[in-house]
Structure 1
Amino acid sequence: MPHYLLTLTVQAHPAGATVVRVTGELDLHTAARMRRSTDRLPLAPGGVLVLDLSGLTFCDSVGVAELLHVYRTAVAAGATAAFAGATESLLSTARTTGLDQVLSFVAGVDDALPPQEQAGGSASSDG
C-alpha cells in the first residue's frame, strides 16, 4: 500500500492569527485528513486563518475542493481565510477556474495579516 504524505502543523502567529502549514500532497488520498484537521480549528468571528501552502508539493482537484471547504468554514465562523505561498501551478489552476476571485492568495504568511498586525499591533499613517 502506498504511503501518502500530508502534514499539517497548526501554530498561533504572534499577531493572533491561526497559521496552518501544509506540507506534502493534497489529493484524493489525503483530503480527508486535511478536512478532519481543519474542521477542528478554533475559528471565531473576526479571526484570521492562514494556510501556508509553501510546502505543498501537489494539489489535485480534490485538494482544491478542500481549500475551498476551508475558506467556506472560516467564513461561516465569521473569520477570514488567506492562502499563502501557493505554487505557480496552484495559482494557475486558481486563475483558470476562477478560484482566485474567491480565495485570497498572498505571497507569504505576513502578507495575510491586516496592516496593524504586521507592524506588531501598531498602525501608522503617513502625513
Structure 2
Amino acid sequence: MTMLDIITRTTPAGPVLTLRGTLDYESAPRLREEVRAADLTPGSLLVLDLADLDFCDSSGINTFLTARNTATAAGASIALAAVPPPVARVIGIVGLDQIFAIHPDSDSAADSHLTHS
C-alpha cells in the first residue's frame, strides 16, 4: 500500500482535493483535516477527485460521509470525481451513489455546479 497524498486546488466553484494513494484507517484522519481546512463557503462545491486513489477501505468511505457533513454544515455541496471502478463498486453497494453527485472528472463537477448555481 502507498501513503495518501492530497493536493488541494481552488476553482471558481470551490476547492478540489485530489487524492493519490491509499485511503484507509491510518490516512483517513489526514483527509478529514484537509476537508476541515478547505475554504468552504455557502454555495461552494467541494470536489474529491479520486482518479489516483489506489485503495479505499471502510474508514475512507466513512470519511467521505464526514466530508459531506462538513460541506453541508458550511452551506456547501460535495461531489466525487473520477471514481475508480473498485471504489465505485463499494460506493454503489453501500448506497452512497444515491447521496453523492458523481462526475467523470473534477472539471465536469465544477462546470456542472457553476451551470446549476
Give the TM-score of the pair, scaled to structure 1: 0.83
Give CA deviations for 1:3-44 in whole Å, capped at 9, x if unaligned. 85111111012x342111111100011111111121111111
4+ residue runs over 3 A deviation:
114-118
1:46 aligns with: 43
Return the structure number with greater helix share: 2
User: Higher relative contact order at CA 8 Å, sep ≥6: structure 1 or structure 2?
Assistant: 2
CA distance in 1, matches of 2:113, 2:35: 26
Give the TM-score of the pair, scaled to structure 2: 0.90
Matched, 1:37 2:34: yes
Measured after TM superposition, the shift of residue 105 of structure 1 is 1.3
Give CA deviations for 1:20-71 in whole Å, capped at 9, x if unaligned. 1111100011111111121111111001111111011000001100011111
Please, which runs of 5 or more residues in structure 2 have no aligned partner?
A: none
* 8 Å CA contact retained: 1:4, 1:30: no
Q: 72, 80, 83: which is aligned to 1:83? A: 80
Measured after TM superposition, the shift of residue 113 of structure 1 is 2.1
Measured after TM superposition, the shift of residue 103 of structure 1 is 1.2
Measured after TM superposition, the shift of residue 117 of structure 1 is 3.9
Equivalenced residues, count: 115
1:105 aligns with: 102
CA distance in 2, matches of 1:22, 1:82: 13
CA RMSD, 1 decimal: 1.7
Q: 8, 11, 32: which is aligned to 2:9? A: 11
Q: Which has the larger radius of gyration?
A: 1
